[in-house]
């Protein structure tokens, strides 16, 4: 016999999660280089809990798409091979033609992460073609709604209005019927990144190149189309971005750090961006309840398999107590241990999963690695007249 006792929620107030976001237009290239620097694997000071990886312009020819449908795609396999030795598990992915979004999390966080939804929003050819648009994964992380969007917006200098229109269209398409928070704008955190294709207006090529050479990036910010749009658009203004202290990430000659030397000589631009939006909190809200702090926002110039350089952002996400249903825990102990507190195993279970009557039971799978329940059955009844003989219970398990 065992006895269950209800404890206070065990998720500590102010739990800190370290999140690493990657955005990269790979221009149909295969993962042929070491990505340790991109994933911050060489940084001994970082202990990352969650990886969010968004790629654009993956190879989406018919042969590639058919192959990926039958087997794990090369990029996904590559990232899994690098991250699984660090106890990181791929918890969700979504693909729409060349757009790809992956989320990895450490084992110990899996009981607290729920996959709410994955969606694709094509905006190419009036919404019928997925070469442009956005893909999203919505999670519930420690009781908080977190929406992740990877996008690829229309290119070219003159398409700025179209980019902003697609931005709004993607956002308007993200609703979550049947959940407590159906409107994405009410979610606690939106992480939005990708090849947004915003360009630098007015300045000529030579002036832009001179500013880059002399690292006078601030002079270019004022003419960056996204920087301008954030001043004018009320909704876009709510999205934050770290300072652009790295060179424009587009457009490079492949396999070099030289900006476009072709006949077109395209003007460099910060096309690859990472934005975030925290839900507005009341003035008297507990400031330590849910906070996101950006620790790093950089480009990675050493990677040259594409005409874009990858961009990463590293964040600290502080999560505090939200709702009892997200943190209810039970402690299962032997009868002779009820009054003692030594060597107890603590498990976590949502209170909504508890059977309504004493006649119902649950079958749970307990993981010794996670020290928690990781699988749970629907409530069921044991038929009357069903008994377990003590001699059967005491028999050793058969050797397979």
Query: Among 319, 346, 368, where does a domain finish?
Result: 319
The CATH number that applies at residue 207 is: 3.60.10.10
**Tens of pLDDT along 261-301?**
999 999 999 999 999 999 876 545 545 578 999 999 999 99
pTM of the model: 0.78
Joined tokens for residue 72: 């794990």
Q: Is the pLDDT of residue 111 over 60?
A: yes
CB 39 within 8 A of CB 20: yes
**What pLDDT was estimated at residue 21?**
98
CB 315 within 8 A of CB 292: yes
Residues 284 and 358 in one domain: no
Residue span of the structural domain in which 379 resides: 327-393
Query: Among 256, 289, 319, where does a domain finish?
Result: 319
CB 177 within 8 A of CB 171: no
The verdict on residue 221 lying in a domain is: yes
**What pLDDT was estimated at residue 3?**
36
Domain count of the fold of the chain = 2
Question: Residue 141 and residue 135: Cα distance in Å, rounded?
Answer: 19
CB 239 within 8 A of CB 192: yes
Joined tokens for residue 268: 């460099």
For residue 107, CA distances in Å to 17, 110, 374 come to 13, 6, 11
Residues 242 and 334 in one domain: no
**What pLDDT was estimated at residue 88?**
96
* Ranges 176-185, 208-217, 360-369, most confident: 208-217
The verdict on residue 41 lying in a domain is: yes
Q: What percent of the chain has pLDDT over 90?
A: 60
Residues 42 and 173 in one domain: yes
Question: Residue 88 and residue 369: Cα distance in Å, rounded?
Answer: 13
**Tens of pLDDT along 333-382?**
444 544 444 455 555 566 666 666 666 777 777 666 666 667 777 777 76
Joined tokens for residue 81: 């091979």
Q: In which order are the strands placed within the sheet that holds 290-299? A: 88-96, 99-106, 50-56, 15-25, 311-319, 290-299
> Rounded mean pLDDT of 212-239?
95
**Tens of pLDDT along 188-203?**
999 999 999 999 999 9
Residues 284 and 338 in one domain: no
The answer to which of 3-12, 108-117, 344-353 has the lowest mean pLDDT is 3-12
> Rounded mean pLDDT of 80-85?
95
Residues 128 and 238 in one domain: yes
pLDDT, greater one: 152 or 72: 152
């Amino acid at each position: 016999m065992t006895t269950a006792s209800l404890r206070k929620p065990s998720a500590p107030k102010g739990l800190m999660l370290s999140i690493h976001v990657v955005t990269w237009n790979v221009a149909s290239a295969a993962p042929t280089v070491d990505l340790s620097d991109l994933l911050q694997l060489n940084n001994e000071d970082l202990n990352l809990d969650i990886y969010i990886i968004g790629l654009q312009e993956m190879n989406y020819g018919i042969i590639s798409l058919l192959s990926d449908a039958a087997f794990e795609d090369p990029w996904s396999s590559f990232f899994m091979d690098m991250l699984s030795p660090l106890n990181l598990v791929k918890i969700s992915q979504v693909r729409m033609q060349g757009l790809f979004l992956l989320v990895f999390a450490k084992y110990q966080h899996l009981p607290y992460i729920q996959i709410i939804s994955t969606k694709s929003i094509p905006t190419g050819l009036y919404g019928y073609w997925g070469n442009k648009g956005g893909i999203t994964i919505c999670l519930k992380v420690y009781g908080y709604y977190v929406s992740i969007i990877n996008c690829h917006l229309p290119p070219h200098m003159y398409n700025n209005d179209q980019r902003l229109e697609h931005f709004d269209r993607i956002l308007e398409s993200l609703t979550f019927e049947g959940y407590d928070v159906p409107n994405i704008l009410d979610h606690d955190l939106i992480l939005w990144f990708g090849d947004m294709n915003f360009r630098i207006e007015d300045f000529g090529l030579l002036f832009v190149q001179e500013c880059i050479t002399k690292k006078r990036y601030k002079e270019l910010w004022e003419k960056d189309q996204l920087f301008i749009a954030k001043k004018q658009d009320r909704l876009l203004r709510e999205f934050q971005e770290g300072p652009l202290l790295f060179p424009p990430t587009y457009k490079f000659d492949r396999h070099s750090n030289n900006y476009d030397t072709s006949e077109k000589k395209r003007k460099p631009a910060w096309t690859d961006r990472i934005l975030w939006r925290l839900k507005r909190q009341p003035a008297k809200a507990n400031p330590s309840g849910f906070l996101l702090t950006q620790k790093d926002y950089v480009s990675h110039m050493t990677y040259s398999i594409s005409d874009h350089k990858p961009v990463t952002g590293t964040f600290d996400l502080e999560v505090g107590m939200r709702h009892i249903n997200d943190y209810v825990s039970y402690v299962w102990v032997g009868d002779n241990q009820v009054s003692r507190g030594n060597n107890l195993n603590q498990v976590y279970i949502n209170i909504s999963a508890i059977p309504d009557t004493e006649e119902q039971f649950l079958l749970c799978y307990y993981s010794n690695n996670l020290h928690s329940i990781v699988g749970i059955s629907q409530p069921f009844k044991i038929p009357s007249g069903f008994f377990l003989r003590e001699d059967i219970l005491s028999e050793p398990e058969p050797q397979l």
